[in-house]
Amino acid sequence: MDVLKMGIIIHLSTRVDDDEQTNRKVEVTVKRMAVWYGRYYYRGDYRGDSVKLTDLDPRLVSHGGEGISDSKTGEPIPERKGVGMTFDCPCGDCHERCYLQFTNPLDGGEECGGGHPTWQRTGEDFETMTLTPSIQRMGDCRWHGYLTNGELKEC
């Protein structure tokens, strides 16, 4: 049964989907599916359910590189890879992207926090990543939760 209300389709079912990243079949129990920009991501029907980070379009963030220079000194800023990440907000309602900087970037260099909050990362990929401390969105939805072993769970 589907009900469309304010851009959210409430749908209770279990089905097999193609995982585009791994080209495998995945059984997905869909309780609520938020829809926008023609993309879908899966989320539990009740607050407190967990959602896989890989379902939230995660992307690693780089810093510096060719054509990027320090605005004060004019010196080029060397390229850094994996200094943080972005992903769709797990609340499923605000449609915003979350941005987090790592205390320990994937490239092994120092953090690029510049006075902004940073998160301690374990795990080398989105499926196994754990961040500490907890994540709290300060705008819009104010979602608060933990990323543990690639799954986000609301507090």
> pLDDT tens-digit profile of 27-79?
444 433 333 333 344 444 434 578 999 999 999 999 899 999 988 999 999 99
pTM, 2 dp:
0.67
Q: Which two tokens stand for residue 92?
A: 């499923």
Of residues 81, 97, 84, the one with CA closest to residue 137: 97
Interstrand relation of 97-102 and 118-122 (parallel, antiparallel or unpaired): parallel
**pLDDT, tens digit, for every residue of 71-108?**
899 999 999 999 999 999 998 888 899 999 999 999 99
Of residues 26, 39, 34, the one with CA closest to residue 9: 34
